[in-house]
Structure 1
Amino acid sequence: MAILEDGPNGGFRGKVGSVYGYNLKGQWIIRGARRKSNKPPTEGQRLHRQKLKLVGEFCRENKPVFDFGYRLKKDKESRYGAFQLAQKHVFNEVVAFDADNNPVVNFENLKVFAGELLSPKHAKVSLNNGLIDLEWTPNSAYNDEIYKLNLAFVSLRDLSSLKLAIANAADGHCSMEVPIELNLNAEYHVYIGFWNTFYNEISDSTYCGLLR
Protein backbone atom coordinates (compact mmCIF):
# COMPACT_ATOMS: atom_id res chain seq x y z
CA MET A 1 0.00 0.00 0.00
CA ALA A 2 1.24 3.48 -0.84
CA ILE A 3 0.60 6.80 0.92
CA LEU A 4 -0.17 9.84 -1.25
CA GLU A 5 1.45 13.06 0.00
CA ASP A 6 0.90 16.73 -0.89
CA GLY A 7 -2.45 16.14 -2.61
CA PRO A 8 -3.25 14.53 -5.98
CA ASN A 9 -0.27 16.18 -7.67
CA GLY A 10 2.22 15.10 -5.03
CA GLY A 11 4.37 12.04 -4.80
CA PHE A 12 3.71 8.82 -2.96
CA ARG A 13 5.54 6.50 -0.60
CA GLY A 14 5.22 2.75 -0.92
CA LYS A 15 4.10 0.31 -3.60
CA VAL A 16 1.49 0.84 -6.30
CA GLY A 17 1.13 -2.12 -8.60
CA SER A 18 4.63 -3.03 -9.72
CA VAL A 19 6.31 0.30 -8.88
CA TYR A 20 7.64 1.90 -5.69
CA GLY A 21 7.64 5.56 -4.74
CA TYR A 22 9.87 7.41 -2.28
CA ASN A 23 11.37 10.83 -1.58
CA LEU A 24 15.11 11.33 -2.12
CA LYS A 25 16.56 14.69 -1.04
CA GLY A 26 13.30 16.49 -1.72
CA GLN A 27 12.57 14.82 -5.08
CA TRP A 28 9.94 12.16 -5.64
CA ILE A 29 11.31 9.00 -7.22
CA ILE A 30 9.42 6.10 -8.83
CA ARG A 31 11.22 2.84 -9.57
CA GLY A 32 10.44 -0.71 -10.47
CA ALA A 33 10.94 -3.65 -8.15
CA ARG A 34 14.55 -4.58 -7.57
CA ARG A 35 15.63 -7.94 -8.87
CA LYS A 36 17.43 -10.29 -6.56
CA SER A 37 21.06 -10.58 -7.60
CA ASN A 38 22.62 -14.02 -7.99
CA LYS A 39 26.12 -12.57 -7.99
CA PRO A 40 28.27 -13.30 -4.93
CA PRO A 41 28.96 -10.16 -2.87
CA THR A 42 32.20 -8.31 -3.43
CA GLU A 43 34.67 -8.07 -0.57
CA GLY A 44 33.57 -4.50 0.08
CA GLN A 45 29.91 -5.53 0.18
CA ARG A 46 30.67 -8.41 2.54
CA LEU A 47 32.56 -6.17 4.96
CA HIS A 48 29.81 -3.55 4.82
CA ARG A 49 27.16 -6.17 5.67
CA GLN A 50 29.22 -7.52 8.55
CA LYS A 51 29.69 -4.01 9.87
CA LEU A 52 25.97 -3.27 9.64
CA LYS A 53 25.18 -6.49 11.50
CA LEU A 54 27.62 -5.70 14.31
CA VAL A 55 26.34 -2.13 14.67
CA GLY A 56 22.73 -3.32 14.76
CA GLU A 57 23.34 -5.97 17.42
CA PHE A 58 25.57 -3.78 19.57
CA CYS A 59 23.23 -0.79 19.53
CA ARG A 60 20.17 -2.92 20.32
CA GLU A 61 21.90 -4.38 23.39
CA ASN A 62 22.71 -0.86 24.62
CA LYS A 63 19.57 0.99 23.46
CA PRO A 64 18.51 2.34 26.90
CA VAL A 65 21.90 4.00 27.36
CA PHE A 66 21.90 5.51 23.86
CA ASP A 67 18.30 6.71 24.15
CA PHE A 68 19.30 8.71 27.23
CA GLY A 69 22.74 9.76 26.05
CA TYR A 70 21.66 11.16 22.68
CA ARG A 71 18.23 12.56 23.57
CA LEU A 72 19.51 16.16 23.64
CA LYS A 73 21.27 15.82 20.28
CA LYS A 74 18.08 15.13 18.39
CA ASP A 75 17.16 17.89 15.98
CA LYS A 76 13.39 18.39 15.85
CA GLU A 77 13.60 18.95 12.11
CA SER A 78 15.74 15.87 11.48
CA ARG A 79 14.42 12.46 10.61
CA TYR A 80 17.01 10.97 12.96
CA GLY A 81 15.97 10.18 16.53
CA ALA A 82 18.31 9.77 19.49
CA PHE A 83 18.88 6.06 18.84
CA GLN A 84 19.54 6.61 15.13
CA LEU A 85 22.09 9.31 15.95
CA ALA A 86 23.87 6.86 18.24
CA GLN A 87 23.84 4.20 15.51
CA LYS A 88 25.33 6.68 13.05
CA HIS A 89 28.11 7.52 15.52
CA VAL A 90 28.89 3.84 16.13
CA PHE A 91 28.94 3.03 12.42
CA ASN A 92 31.12 5.99 11.38
CA GLU A 93 33.44 6.46 14.36
CA VAL A 94 33.50 3.37 16.54
CA VAL A 95 33.52 0.18 14.45
CA ALA A 96 36.85 -0.70 12.85
CA PHE A 97 38.35 -3.83 11.24
CA ASP A 98 40.91 -6.09 12.88
CA ALA A 99 43.90 -7.79 11.26
CA ASP A 100 41.61 -10.53 9.90
CA ASN A 101 39.22 -7.97 8.39
CA ASN A 102 36.50 -8.65 10.93
CA PRO A 103 34.51 -5.69 12.30
CA VAL A 104 35.21 -4.86 15.95
CA VAL A 105 34.02 -2.21 18.40
CA ASN A 106 36.69 0.26 19.48
CA PHE A 107 35.30 1.06 22.93
CA GLU A 108 37.74 3.92 23.51
CA ASN A 109 36.15 5.84 20.63
CA LEU A 110 32.60 5.25 21.81
CA LYS A 111 30.49 8.12 23.15
CA VAL A 112 27.55 6.83 25.12
CA PHE A 113 26.56 10.39 26.09
CA ALA A 114 26.68 13.34 23.70
CA GLY A 115 26.32 16.93 24.89
CA GLU A 116 27.79 20.40 25.21
CA LEU A 117 29.27 20.37 28.73
CA LEU A 118 32.99 19.75 29.25
CA SER A 119 33.74 16.06 29.73
CA PRO A 120 35.37 14.55 32.83
CA LYS A 121 39.15 14.26 32.57
CA HIS A 122 41.57 11.51 33.67
CA ALA A 123 38.78 9.07 34.49
CA LYS A 124 39.61 5.69 36.02
CA VAL A 125 37.63 2.71 37.26
CA SER A 126 38.61 -0.24 39.45
CA LEU A 127 36.86 -3.07 41.25
CA ASN A 128 37.92 -3.51 44.88
CA ASN A 129 36.33 -5.85 47.41
CA GLY A 130 33.03 -5.84 45.58
CA LEU A 131 32.92 -2.05 45.20
CA ILE A 132 33.32 0.00 42.05
CA ASP A 133 35.75 2.87 42.60
CA LEU A 134 35.64 5.80 40.18
CA GLU A 135 38.06 8.69 39.92
CA TRP A 136 38.12 11.81 37.76
CA THR A 137 39.65 15.28 37.88
CA PRO A 138 37.12 17.82 39.22
CA ASN A 139 36.38 20.82 37.00
CA SER A 140 36.14 24.13 38.90
CA ALA A 141 33.36 25.23 36.52
CA TYR A 142 31.16 22.47 37.90
CA ASN A 143 31.44 23.02 41.66
CA ASP A 144 27.73 23.68 42.07
CA GLU A 145 25.71 20.70 43.35
CA ILE A 146 23.44 20.85 40.31
CA TYR A 147 26.27 19.13 38.41
CA LYS A 148 26.14 15.38 38.89
CA LEU A 149 28.00 12.35 37.56
CA ASN A 150 26.27 9.84 35.28
CA LEU A 151 27.62 6.31 34.87
CA ALA A 152 27.13 3.74 32.11
CA PHE A 153 28.21 0.11 31.79
CA VAL A 154 28.38 -1.10 28.19
CA SER A 155 28.92 -4.65 26.97
CA LEU A 156 29.33 -6.14 23.52
CA ARG A 157 26.90 -9.00 24.11
CA ASP A 158 25.14 -8.38 27.39
CA LEU A 159 22.63 -5.88 28.72
CA SER A 160 23.90 -2.42 29.55
CA SER A 161 23.24 -0.43 32.72
CA LEU A 162 22.77 3.29 33.35
CA LYS A 163 23.10 5.04 36.72
CA LEU A 164 22.20 8.71 37.02
CA ALA A 165 23.48 11.36 39.44
CA ILE A 166 25.60 8.94 41.45
CA ALA A 167 27.84 11.72 42.85
CA ASN A 168 28.58 15.43 42.66
CA ALA A 169 30.77 16.36 39.69
CA ALA A 170 33.05 18.31 42.06
CA ASP A 171 33.83 15.28 44.26
CA GLY A 172 36.46 13.75 42.00
CA HIS A 173 35.82 10.22 43.27
CA CYS A 174 33.06 7.90 44.45
CA SER A 175 32.41 4.27 45.30
CA MET A 176 29.33 2.15 44.71
CA GLU A 177 28.20 -1.44 44.88
CA VAL A 178 28.13 -3.46 41.69
CA PRO A 179 24.62 -3.13 40.18
CA ILE A 180 22.68 -6.37 40.61
CA GLU A 181 21.72 -6.43 36.92
CA LEU A 182 25.33 -6.79 35.75
CA ASN A 183 26.57 -10.21 34.73
CA LEU A 184 30.05 -10.29 36.21
CA ASN A 185 31.01 -13.07 33.80
CA ALA A 186 30.57 -10.56 30.98
CA GLU A 187 33.01 -7.84 29.96
CA TYR A 188 31.82 -4.33 30.80
CA HIS A 189 33.28 -1.04 29.63
CA VAL A 190 32.69 1.92 31.91
CA TYR A 191 31.84 5.52 30.93
CA ILE A 192 31.07 8.64 32.96
CA GLY A 193 29.73 12.06 32.05
CA PHE A 194 28.61 15.28 33.73
CA TRP A 195 24.94 16.28 33.98
CA ASN A 196 23.53 19.72 34.79
CA THR A 197 20.36 18.59 36.53
CA PHE A 198 18.87 22.09 36.61
CA TYR A 199 19.16 22.98 32.93
CA ASN A 200 19.22 19.35 31.73
CA GLU A 201 22.57 19.60 29.93
CA ILE A 202 25.09 16.77 29.64
CA SER A 203 28.66 16.28 28.49
CA ASP A 204 30.16 13.80 26.09
CA SER A 205 31.08 10.65 27.93
CA THR A 206 34.62 9.80 29.01
CA TYR A 207 35.94 6.26 28.78
CA CYS A 208 37.15 4.90 32.14
CA GLY A 209 38.26 1.42 31.06
CA LEU A 210 37.18 -2.15 31.74
CA LEU A 211 35.46 -3.12 34.96
CA ARG A 212 37.94 -5.52 36.53
Structure 2
Amino acid sequence: MGKMKNGLTGGFSGKVGTLVGSSVKGQNILRNAPKKSSKNPTAGQLSHRQKFTLVSSFLRPLNGLIKRHFGSAQKLKSKVNLALAYHLKEAVNQVEDGFVVNLSKVVISKGILQTIFVDTVAIVNKELTLTWSANLVFGSVNKTDVLTVVIYQKATESMFILEQVAERGAGECKVQLPASFEDTGYGIWIFLTDVGLVECSTSVFLGEF
Protein backbone atom coordinates (compact mmCIF):
# COMPACT_ATOMS: atom_id res chain seq x y z
CA MET A 1 0.00 0.00 0.00
CA GLY A 2 1.31 3.43 -0.92
CA LYS A 3 1.27 6.41 1.43
CA MET A 4 0.64 9.91 0.06
CA LYS A 5 2.60 12.83 1.49
CA ASN A 6 1.31 16.43 1.52
CA GLY A 7 -1.85 15.66 -0.41
CA LEU A 8 -2.23 15.20 -4.15
CA THR A 9 0.67 17.55 -4.94
CA GLY A 10 3.17 15.68 -2.74
CA GLY A 11 5.03 12.47 -3.32
CA PHE A 12 4.08 9.04 -2.14
CA SER A 13 5.99 6.02 -0.92
CA GLY A 14 5.25 2.37 -1.48
CA LYS A 15 3.40 0.65 -4.30
CA VAL A 16 0.21 1.80 -6.00
CA GLY A 17 -0.91 -0.38 -8.86
CA THR A 18 2.03 -0.75 -11.24
CA LEU A 19 3.90 2.26 -9.79
CA VAL A 20 6.43 2.48 -6.96
CA GLY A 21 7.15 5.76 -5.18
CA SER A 22 10.19 6.56 -3.06
CA SER A 23 12.24 9.48 -1.80
CA VAL A 24 15.96 9.66 -2.58
CA LYS A 25 17.94 12.53 -1.01
CA GLY A 26 14.79 14.63 -0.75
CA GLN A 27 13.63 13.99 -4.33
CA ASN A 28 10.40 12.13 -4.98
CA ILE A 29 10.98 9.31 -7.45
CA LEU A 30 8.20 7.51 -9.33
CA ARG A 31 8.93 4.42 -11.38
CA ASN A 32 7.32 1.28 -12.74
CA ALA A 33 7.24 -1.66 -10.39
CA PRO A 34 9.74 -4.35 -11.47
CA LYS A 35 8.22 -7.35 -13.16
CA LYS A 36 9.00 -10.82 -11.93
CA SER A 37 10.91 -12.83 -14.49
CA SER A 38 9.85 -16.34 -15.37
CA LYS A 39 13.36 -17.15 -16.59
CA ASN A 40 15.84 -18.99 -14.44
CA PRO A 41 18.78 -16.78 -13.40
CA THR A 42 21.99 -17.18 -15.34
CA ALA A 43 25.24 -18.31 -13.76
CA GLY A 44 26.44 -14.70 -13.90
CA GLN A 45 23.32 -13.44 -12.13
CA LEU A 46 23.67 -16.07 -9.43
CA SER A 47 27.31 -15.13 -8.91
CA HIS A 48 26.41 -11.44 -8.63
CA ARG A 49 23.69 -12.20 -6.08
CA GLN A 50 26.13 -14.28 -4.04
CA LYS A 51 28.75 -11.49 -4.09
CA PHE A 52 26.13 -8.85 -3.27
CA THR A 53 24.92 -10.81 -0.25
CA LEU A 54 28.51 -11.39 0.93
CA VAL A 55 29.58 -7.75 0.63
CA SER A 56 26.34 -6.33 2.05
CA SER A 57 26.63 -8.53 5.13
CA PHE A 58 30.30 -7.67 5.59
CA LEU A 59 29.78 -3.91 5.32
CA ARG A 60 26.57 -3.69 7.36
CA PRO A 61 28.30 -3.24 10.76
CA LEU A 62 30.47 -0.53 9.16
CA ASN A 63 27.66 1.50 7.62
CA GLY A 64 27.69 4.05 10.43
CA LEU A 65 31.37 4.81 9.77
CA ILE A 66 30.89 4.70 6.00
CA LYS A 67 28.01 7.20 6.11
CA ARG A 68 30.27 9.67 7.91
CA HIS A 69 33.67 9.05 6.39
CA PHE A 70 33.55 7.36 2.96
CA GLY A 71 34.40 10.38 0.80
CA SER A 72 31.51 12.42 -0.59
CA ALA A 73 28.12 11.31 -1.87
CA GLN A 74 27.63 11.67 -5.63
CA LYS A 75 24.28 12.97 -6.88
CA LEU A 76 21.78 10.20 -6.04
CA LYS A 77 24.46 7.76 -4.88
CA SER A 78 24.92 7.67 -1.12
CA LYS A 79 28.25 6.91 0.55
CA VAL A 80 26.92 3.47 1.47
CA ASN A 81 26.03 2.76 -2.18
CA LEU A 82 29.45 3.99 -3.33
CA ALA A 83 31.18 1.75 -0.78
CA LEU A 84 29.07 -1.22 -1.85
CA ALA A 85 29.92 -0.64 -5.53
CA TYR A 86 33.64 -0.30 -4.77
CA HIS A 87 33.84 -3.48 -2.71
CA LEU A 88 31.82 -5.53 -5.20
CA LYS A 89 34.31 -4.54 -7.91
CA GLU A 90 37.60 -4.47 -6.01
CA ALA A 91 37.37 -6.47 -2.77
CA VAL A 92 35.90 -9.87 -3.65
CA ASN A 93 37.96 -12.93 -4.53
CA GLN A 94 36.57 -16.11 -6.04
CA VAL A 95 37.45 -19.34 -4.27
CA GLU A 96 36.59 -22.97 -4.93
CA ASP A 97 33.24 -22.88 -3.13
CA GLY A 98 32.16 -19.30 -3.83
CA PHE A 99 33.52 -15.88 -2.90
CA VAL A 100 35.38 -14.26 0.00
CA VAL A 101 36.08 -10.66 0.94
CA ASN A 102 39.70 -9.65 0.30
CA LEU A 103 40.45 -7.86 3.56
CA SER A 104 43.50 -6.09 2.12
CA LYS A 105 41.23 -4.27 -0.37
CA VAL A 106 38.61 -3.15 2.15
CA VAL A 107 38.29 0.63 2.49
CA ILE A 108 36.32 2.05 5.41
CA SER A 109 37.08 5.76 5.07
CA LYS A 110 38.26 8.11 2.34
CA GLY A 111 39.67 11.50 3.19
CA ILE A 112 42.44 14.06 2.96
CA LEU A 113 44.13 13.81 6.36
CA GLN A 114 47.58 12.29 6.59
CA THR A 115 47.67 8.80 8.04
CA ILE A 116 50.10 7.40 10.62
CA PHE A 117 52.67 4.69 10.04
CA VAL A 118 52.18 1.94 12.60
CA ASP A 119 55.31 0.27 13.97
CA THR A 120 53.88 -2.52 16.15
CA VAL A 121 50.56 -4.32 16.55
CA ALA A 122 49.82 -6.72 19.40
CA ILE A 123 46.81 -8.24 21.14
CA VAL A 124 47.67 -9.86 24.48
CA ASN A 125 45.05 -10.93 27.03
CA LYS A 126 42.43 -9.14 24.92
CA GLU A 127 44.29 -5.85 25.11
CA LEU A 128 45.17 -4.17 21.80
CA THR A 129 48.41 -2.19 21.66
CA LEU A 130 49.47 -0.07 18.67
CA THR A 131 52.57 2.07 18.44
CA TRP A 132 53.53 4.55 15.73
CA SER A 133 55.91 7.38 15.03
CA ALA A 134 54.52 10.57 16.53
CA ASN A 135 56.82 12.83 14.53
CA LEU A 136 54.72 15.56 12.93
CA VAL A 137 56.62 15.95 9.68
CA PHE A 138 53.80 17.31 7.54
CA GLY A 139 52.60 20.87 7.88
CA SER A 140 48.93 19.85 7.59
CA VAL A 141 49.13 17.29 10.42
CA ASN A 142 47.45 18.07 13.73
CA LYS A 143 48.59 16.15 16.79
CA THR A 144 45.03 16.25 18.20
CA ASP A 145 43.62 14.16 15.33
CA VAL A 146 42.08 11.03 16.82
CA LEU A 147 42.50 7.38 15.89
CA THR A 148 39.75 4.88 15.08
CA VAL A 149 40.53 1.15 14.92
CA VAL A 150 38.36 -1.52 13.30
CA ILE A 151 38.99 -5.21 13.97
CA TYR A 152 37.33 -8.02 12.01
CA GLN A 153 37.35 -11.38 13.76
CA LYS A 154 37.35 -13.90 10.94
CA ALA A 155 36.14 -17.02 12.72
CA THR A 156 32.98 -15.38 14.07
CA GLU A 157 32.65 -12.73 11.32
CA SER A 158 32.40 -10.08 14.06
CA MET A 159 33.35 -6.40 13.81
CA PHE A 160 34.87 -4.48 16.73
CA ILE A 161 34.81 -0.71 16.19
CA LEU A 162 37.01 1.31 18.53
CA GLU A 163 36.45 5.01 17.90
CA GLN A 164 38.69 7.87 19.02
CA VAL A 165 41.01 5.69 21.10
CA ALA A 166 44.09 7.94 21.01
CA GLU A 167 45.43 11.21 19.66
CA ARG A 168 47.85 11.25 16.76
CA GLY A 169 50.54 12.85 18.92
CA ALA A 170 50.44 10.11 21.57
CA GLY A 171 52.38 7.58 19.49
CA GLU A 172 50.66 4.68 21.26
CA CYS A 173 47.25 3.36 22.22
CA LYS A 174 46.15 0.55 24.51
CA VAL A 175 42.53 -0.61 24.34
CA GLN A 176 40.87 -3.41 26.29
CA LEU A 177 38.76 -5.48 23.90
CA PRO A 178 35.34 -6.91 24.83
CA ALA A 179 35.10 -10.28 26.54
CA SER A 180 33.52 -11.70 23.37
CA PHE A 181 36.72 -11.12 21.39
CA GLU A 182 38.50 -14.36 20.50
CA ASP A 183 42.06 -14.44 19.26
CA THR A 184 41.31 -16.75 16.35
CA GLY A 185 42.61 -14.64 13.50
CA TYR A 186 41.62 -11.10 12.67
CA GLY A 187 42.17 -8.18 10.31
CA ILE A 188 42.79 -4.62 11.48
CA TRP A 189 42.21 -1.21 9.86
CA ILE A 190 42.91 2.28 11.17
CA PHE A 191 42.03 5.83 10.17
CA LEU A 192 42.13 9.26 11.76
CA THR A 193 39.60 12.05 12.08
CA ASP A 194 39.91 15.63 13.25
CA VAL A 195 38.37 16.43 16.63
CA GLY A 196 35.25 17.80 14.96
CA LEU A 197 34.77 14.59 12.92
CA VAL A 198 34.68 16.68 9.74
CA GLU A 199 37.80 15.44 7.96
CA CYS A 200 39.33 11.98 7.96
CA SER A 201 42.22 10.02 6.50
CA THR A 202 41.79 7.13 4.09
CA SER A 203 41.74 3.90 6.06
CA VAL A 204 44.85 1.71 6.14
CA PHE A 205 44.81 -2.09 6.43
CA LEU A 206 47.43 -3.18 8.95
CA GLY A 207 47.21 -6.85 8.01
CA GLU A 208 45.82 -10.18 9.11
CA PHE A 209 47.03 -11.58 12.43
Task: Give TM-score scaled by structure 2 length.
Answer: 0.73
2:117 to 116, 121, 124: 121
Root mean square deviation of aligned Cα? 3.7
1:41-80 maps to which residues of 2 (within 5 A)?
Answer: 41-60=41-60, 63=61, 65-72=62-69, 73=71, 75=73, 78=76, 80=78
Equivalent residues of 2:109, 2:200 under 8 A apart: yes
Residues 30, 96 of structure 1: alpha-carbon distance in 2 compared, 3 angstrom cutoff: same
Matched pairs, number: 202
1:110 to 103, 106, 109: 106
Deviations 1:87-117 (A, max 9, x none): 333223222323x262111111111223221
Residues 29, 194 of structure 1: alpha-carbon distance in 2 compared, 3 angstrom cutoff: closer
Distance 2:11 2:63 in 1: 34
Residues 75, 181 of structure 1: alpha-carbon distance in 2 compared, 3 angstrom cutoff: farther
Sequence identity of aligned pairs in percent? Answer: 23
Unmatched runs of 5 consecutive residues or more in structure 1:
none
Equivalent residues of 2:148, 2:163 under 8 A apart: yes
Q: CA deviation at 1:133?
A: 2.8
Amino acid at match of 1:93: E
Amino acid at match of 2:146: K
Higher relative contact order (CA 8 A, sep 6+): 1
Task: Give TM-score scaled by structure 1 length.
Answer: 0.72
Q: CA deviation at 1:4?
A: 6.0
Distance 1:167 1:16 in 2: 52
Match of 1:192 in 2: 190
Match of 1:30 in 2: 32
Equivalent residues of 2:126, 2:178 under 8 A apart: no
Unmatched runs of 5 consecutive residues or more in structure 2:
23-27
Equivalent residues of 2:153, 2:159 under 8 A apart: yes
Equivalent residues of 1:66, 1:113 under 8 A apart: no
1:96 to 86, 93, 111: 93
Residues 53, 199 of structure 1: alpha-carbon distance in 2 compared, 3 angstrom cutoff: closer
The SS at the match of 2:132 is strand
